[in-house]
Structure 1
Amino acid sequence: MLILRGTLALGLALWLIPSVRAASDPTDTPKGLRVVLVDVGQGDATIVVGPTGKTLVIDGGNNGRGSQVLAALRRLGAARVDYMVSSHYHIDHMGGLDEVMNGISVTSVWDRGTRDQPSNSSYRDYVRVAGSRRRTVSLGQVFDLGGGCRARVLAYDGNVYTRSPLPIRNTMQQENAASVVLRLDYGDFSMWLGGDLTGGGNGTYDCETTVSQVCGDVDVYRGDHHGSATSTSSGLVANLNPEVAVFSMGVNNPYGHPHVEPLNRLNARSASRALFTTSGGTGKSGFTELGEMTLHTDGRRYRVVGTKGLPRDFYVDEVVGPWPGVGDIVITEIHRAPSTSLGEYLEMENRSGGPLNLNGMTVSGNLGSFTFAASYRLLPGARLVVLNTGIPAKNGGVIGGHCWPFKAITIGNTYDTLRLVRGGTLETVSYSSGFAGGSARAAERVDVRKAATASNFRAATSRYASDWGTPESKNSVDATVWPLMAGVEAVPASTLGGPSLQLYQSGFSHGFQLAIAALSLGNSPGIRVGAVRIPLNPDPLFMASLTLPSFVAFLPPGGQRGICLPLPPGLLGDVRGYFGHFILDPVGPILVPAASDAATFLFPK
């Protein structure tokens, strides 16, 4: 059996060498599909770029806003637009499309047709510039964006794919109800794009419930009608069950967008989704302002990158786990008495060797709780702030983070017991009078690796705006000495791109040092080098893995890197393996000064 496994290991290594060179680092931005929510103020404009470069533009914002769409297309490197879709004929969606058509080559233009068409000059300009390229969408029509990425038409002008037409004519806000609705799919990633579709609020016809039943579950909801109470019905939320919602609206807009009803439906105590917006709207709580956003996905994970705040990583909902265990995720900063009433926040950090999925984890205190319904993908050493409001102008200058549901929790000023719970208690921080921090000053954890005792917290010594703290940054009082850590995700064959191993090397106290990564079929007795034990056996897989590109490399300054190993389907399937890494210092006094523990896994089928 050992000889057979050794032969397979050598064959695996030879097969992997060209693949590893081309594979992406699983800690980097995923490659494949890109979706941009262009910040056009009070309006909508979305750009979708498929994995082969095919481009779809949905809406162009108001008159004069096409320049922002063109600028975004240039940043994306788009030479032309293959498909343009006008979701409906309101000027804040359609007004900039003629400018886009005049500024870049557009192959085809699609909309809901000519029934009850408007007579304003913006519509006439759109029709004139579109000319013979203009066509009416059809139910079930697919816009092929290459590489397996598709956008399908689910509804337009009251017509619904696989369902009877909806009687929207002469109803309140008929034009919004007539919106073209698309479902975007790439691998296991899915997204709803619904224009201003109505959901029964404010006397409108409820189109959302029927169309969302046809659509089914998605990862990302491109929020209908800028977060208006006309839309984002309870039926839509139940049917789509998104993990992330993204909205576009103008700052201090005259409509009051986003309204509290859709915010509260999406961001509830029992299901707190990630809500991101292009602006602070009219200053309500329940969402996080990110500015213009670009969503990147490889079909298994996705990253939301805003012009404000840090990038946020998520898993698609088909990924089960990896769930945090006891001690994997810890509370690292508590700001309980900010100078502004909306400035409370709590920071948590992943101190394990692999990424964690936070979906289903509860944050609780003496004064409330909420449970994540967003599949945050928290990398080793990464931090997530949860906070009262995600608008920096309202929270004292904290940028980014996850906004908890309205009034879901309050952090006690004098005493509290804060917990992270999933299946059981993962982390507890209790404090009373005399605890570090206080008025306008956060309490920061000194050593992330040590217990959450009062003596392990000190008052922050750095400012982030008006207050003292380091939200989503390294603590100003941090004195953590990090060990080498290793992590593995075994990606199954059913995933877009086939089976692979996602390998994670962390050495936050070992930046710039030469790290050797290796695989093995056993971890005992391991390899002894001086006082250090490398918990991997020197078997054929170990020797073969050392020949692979990227397995011998310097850790970057931040001390973290990842390796993606595409695997041939079935080879070593369900065989237990081990992964680890160690520091090699050929000119220092100790040849191998440090080694990680071994991360165990099963090779995917």
Structure 2
Amino acid sequence: MAKRKMPPYKNKKLLSTVLSALLVLLALAIYYGPELEAVFREPTPPSAPAEAVDCEAAVYFLDVGQGDSALIRIGEDFAMLVDAGIRESGDAIEEDLAALGVTELDAVIATHPHADHIGAMTQIIEAYPIGTFYMPVLPDDQTPTTATYENMLDALDKQNVPVEQITDKTEIAAPENAVFDVLSPRAGDAFDEVNDYSAVVRFTYGSVSFMLTGDAEEPVEENILESGAEISAQVLKCGHHGSSSSTSLPFLRRVNPAVAVISCGADNKYGHPHRETLESLNALGCTVLRTDELGTIVVTTDGEAYAVHTWSEENGLQPAA
């Protein structure tokens, strides 16, 4: 029996329907592509047991209470400090650096001039030779007049430390196999909140990346997403101590971290980390590590694999639970 042919008008109607569907799918892919990619891309977990990863580079998220401070070590010769916690944490930071063999700092970044990030910075500036000091420059009407900020500037001047304004155009010198990409602030940015002038830096060693976000909040995250910059990272230091004003879901999806570190103090008065942030992190399957629960948290890497630890001067590196 001969096969019946479909009438020509039905062929045209079917073709039109298929083409329309393809155009819709193409439009969705262009508009939502990066977020859809993040949703369906599995985050890369620690790829080897802690004791099996050679420590060519490491990021120490120091336990400074309700504040932020991170030390980046690359090999035996490069050390960078990002923020310096509250004033009362100065001695503890110095003790940690001494235990880790740090006698000078190639670079220091003050992400923004709030006291929980630069509280001990004057002490650090006076105690260590510093190669270059990076900080954002705020508009005149938002530049702090606090004693903490003024003392930091005075110390930089007295110690003759080279100071550079940090923007997305800043190039930070790094050892071989390492890159520091500054994603924010951008020259000309205008924000209502000082937090949003925070330096946001993506540190990459080999194929392993870390997102360090200061206290940057959702408006900054939106700007970074719109810029189209590469921001995927295995490790995210959550913005603003895990506040719900940061770590928005679109940003989190694009970064797609396997490990999220939250630097905060035990029973802090701000309720950090906020429930909304923890729910978002859990929804994406992130391993959440908090300094108020674990103390100093360390991620080591050889540029391919990475491993997560806790650290103290007494016990050294220990695999994180």
TM-score range, shorter chain: 0.7 to 0.9
After superposition, what is the alpha-carbon deviation per residue over 1:111-133, rounded to whole angstroms, capped at 9, x for unaligned?
A: 00252210010000110011142
**Paired residues for 1:494-573 under 5 Å:** none
1:136 paired to 2:160:
no
Out of 212, 218, 222, the residue aligned to residue 209 of structure 1 is: 222
1:37 paired to 2:64:
no
Q: Distance in 2 between matches of 1:141 and 1:185?
A: 16
How far residue 32 of structure 1 moved from its aligned partner, in angstroms, is 0.7
After superposition, what is the alpha-carbon deviation per residue over 1:408-458, rounded to whole angstroms, capped at 9, x for unaligned?
A: xxxxxxxxxxxxxxxxxxxxxxxxxxxxxxxxxxxxxxxxxxxxxxxxxxx
Question: Does structure 1 retain, via aligned residues, the 8 Å contact 2:211–2:231?
Answer: no
How far residue 103 of structure 1 moved from its aligned partner, in angstroms, is 1.5
Under a length normalisation based on structure 2, what TM-score does the superposition of the two structures give? Answer: 0.77
Aligned to 1:80: 104
**Paired residues for 1:377-456 under 5 Å:** 400=321
How far residue 167 of structure 1 moved from its aligned partner, in angstroms, is 3.9
Gaps in structure 2 of 5+ consecutive residues: 1-48
- Higher strand content, 1 or 2: 1
- Higher helix content, 1 or 2: 2
Aligned to 1:183: 202
Q: Distance in 2 between matches of 1:300 and 1:137?
A: 29
Aligned to 1:147: 176
Out of 284, 288, 309, the residue aligned to residue 305 of structure 1 is: 309
Q: Distance in 2 between matches of 1:305 and 1:83?
A: 24
Question: Does structure 2 retain, via aligned residues, the 8 Å contact 1:142–1:150?
Answer: no
Aligned to 1:263: 278
Number of paired residues? 262
Give the superposed CA RMSD: 2.0
3-state SS of paired residue (2:97)? helix
After superposition, what is the alpha-carbon deviation per residue over 1:161-207, rounded to whole angstroms, capped at 9, x for unaligned?
A: xxxx5441xx2xx11011011010010000101100011xxxxxx21
Greater relative contact order (Cα < 8 A, sep 6+): 2
Q: Distance in 2 between matches of 1:129 and 1:215?
A: 36
Partner amino acid for 1:67? D
Question: Does structure 1 retain, via aligned residues, the 8 Å contact 2:53–2:305?
Answer: no
How far residue 61 of structure 1 moved from its aligned partner, in angstroms, is 0.4
Gaps in structure 1 of 5+ consecutive residues: 1-24, 200-205, 280-288, 313-399, 401-605
Partner amino acid for 1:142? E
Aligned to 1:69: 93
Q: Distance in 1 between matches of 2:86 and 2:309?
A: 24
Aligned to 1:480: none
Partner amino acid for 2:143? Q
Question: Does structure 1 retain, via aligned residues, the 8 Å contact 2:138–2:197?
Answer: no
After superposition, what is the alpha-carbon deviation per residue over 1:256-314, rounded to whole angstroms, capped at 9, x for unaligned?
A: 0000111111111xx311010001xxxxxxxxx321112110011111111499514xx
Question: Does structure 1 retain, via aligned residues, the 8 Å contact 2:50–2:308?
Answer: no
Under a length normalisation based on structure 1, what TM-score does the superposition of the two structures give? Answer: 0.42
Question: Does structure 1 retain, via aligned residues, the 8 Å contact 2:167–2:199?
Answer: no
3-state SS of paired residue (1:65)? helix
Out of 220, 224, 235, the residue aligned to residue 239 of structure 2 is: 224
How far residue 52 of structure 1 moved from its aligned partner, in angstroms, is 4.8
Aligned to 1:284: none
Out of 219, 236, 255, the residue aligned to residue 251 of structure 2 is: 236
How far residue 75 of structure 1 moved from its aligned partner, in angstroms, is 1.8
3-state SS of paired residue (1:55)? strand
1:275 paired to 2:288:
yes
How far residue 209 of structure 1 moved from its aligned partner, in angstroms, is 2.5
Question: Does structure 2 retain, via aligned residues, the 8 Å contact 1:67–1:100?
Answer: no
After superposition, what is the alpha-carbon deviation per residue over 1:25-66, rounded to whole angstroms, capped at 9, x for unaligned?
A: 995342211111110000000110112521111100011212
Partner amino acid for 1:245? A
Partner amino acid for 1:262? T
Q: Distance in 2 between matches of 1:73 and 1:84?
A: 13
Q: Distance in 1 between matches of 2:318 and 2:177?
A: 29
Aligned to 2:296: 292
Identity of aligned residues (%): 27
